[in-house]
A and B are shown apart, each in its own frame.
Chain A
């Protein structure tokens, strides 16, 4: 992603969001659909992330 050793525009925007918020909802670049990017170190105390069915995970 950073072969040029430069921060891209989207990465810079992500850094701002990590500063001010918790995540970005963005359109997929490969097809119709949405992706959510979460900055886990920016989570607010009341926010939650829970892996579903973790008891069934192979590890």
Chain B
């Protein structure tokens, strides 16, 4: 399965607006009822199957509770200092740990779960696919998330499978390169 710009797998429920201030949760209060209804539909409707590994809808619904998300001022600062020259191409295979119940190719690379729940590198409202360079790390990250973030016990862990994804990207910011990371 191949995905590329303009060939989205499904019609987005909300288009992330990375250019400015409007993101789900970043909006003004007049938008909130509409945002809430769309987000709840996305969870309760047909797209609920995207939430692999989520025991019940409750944790997700709590995270989708609309409010005023306060944009971090680092965004404007970073926009001012990040230039295209800092981005490089990256090709290789990454690994994701997914639930067999939702192991469809389109779901694995949809980024929809992170779109709804957010993640370390994306606020809710931005589609993101998280993967690891090593298969073992993908499993560790996944189980660590389930255990720490949802408070699960070892006995709660459902079956998972590790899937490889071949990636060829043109513009990746490498934060593992010391030259790209400024320490204070």
* A interface with B by C-beta (< 8 Å): 1-2, 5-31, 33-54, 57-59
A-B contact count (CB 8 A): 250
How many B residues face the partner with a CB closer than 8 A? Answer: 78
- Between B4, B93, B130, the greatest number of chain A beta carbons within 10 A of the residue's beta carbon is seen for B4
Q: Is B155 an interface residue (CB 8 A)?
A: no
Distance of A46 from chain B, by nearest CB (Å):
6
Cross-chain contact A28 with B122 (CB below 8 angstroms): no
Return the contact of B82 from the options A20, A53, A57 (Cβ within 8 A): A20
Tell me the residues in window 115-159 of chain B with beta carbons closer than 8 Å to chain A beta carbons.
117-124, 126-134, 137, 140-141, 144, 149
A30 — nearest CB in chain B belongs to which residue? B144
Mind listing 27 A-B residue pairs with CB under 8 Å? A1-B118, A6-B70, A7-B71, A8-B123, A12-B72, A15-B75, A18-B18, A25-B172, A25-B173, A26-B175, A28-B140, A30-B141, A34-B137, A36-B167, A38-B109, A38-B129, A38-B167, A39-B111, A39-B122, A41-B111, A44-B5, A47-B170, A48-B2, A51-B1, A51-B163, A52-B163, A59-B103
CB contact under 8 A between A38 and B84, given known A7-B70, A45-B4, A48-B166: no
B26 — nearest CB in chain A belongs to which residue? A7
CB contact under 8 A between A9 and B5, given known A2-B123, A36-B131: no
Cα of A8 to Cα of B110 in the assembled complex, Å: 23
Cross-chain contact A1 with B63 (CB below 8 angstroms): yes
